[in-house]
Amino acid sequence: MMWAVLLGTSVFCFAIKLLGHYIPETWLSHPRLQRINALIPISLLSALIVAQGLVIKTHIVIDHRLAGVGVALAALLAKMPFPVVVVSAAVASALAYHLH
């Protein structure tokens, strides 16, 4: 399955990039399409955060990961750079995991 995901993702993502270079500029310029397109990354990333931070399989589970995401949020509010955000989240989560 891992190879199928890798190859499927690569093929479709490249096809979309290439498609953009071949279609006339007017095709995708409908305002509604542009608005939705701009919101898709926001919706998907938001869902990914909760899916990976608060869910195991199909259950909502509050565990050490939430400590990490909370610290990441605090780091972002404090305008820390991306590596600091990720590393501090990892450290907080690992601490919570081992203390538990």
The tokens describing 98, both together, are 């081992």
Answer yes or no whether residue 83 interacts with another protein by CB under 8 A. Answer: yes
Answer yes or no whether residue 99 interacts with another protein by CB under 8 A. Answer: no
∠ Cα 78 83 85 (to 5°): 40
To another protein, the closest distance from the beta carbon of 54 in angstroms equals: 7
To another protein, the closest distance from the beta carbon of 70 in angstroms equals: 9
Cβ contacts of 46 within 8 Å, gap of 6 or more: none
The tokens describing 51, both together, are 């899916």
d(CA 26, CA 33): 12
Residues 2-61 that bind another protein (CB under 8 A): 2-10, 12-14, 16-25, 27-28, 31-32, 34-60
To another protein, the closest distance from the beta carbon of 58 in angstroms equals: 6
Residues that bind another protein (rule: CB under 8 A) add up to a total of 78
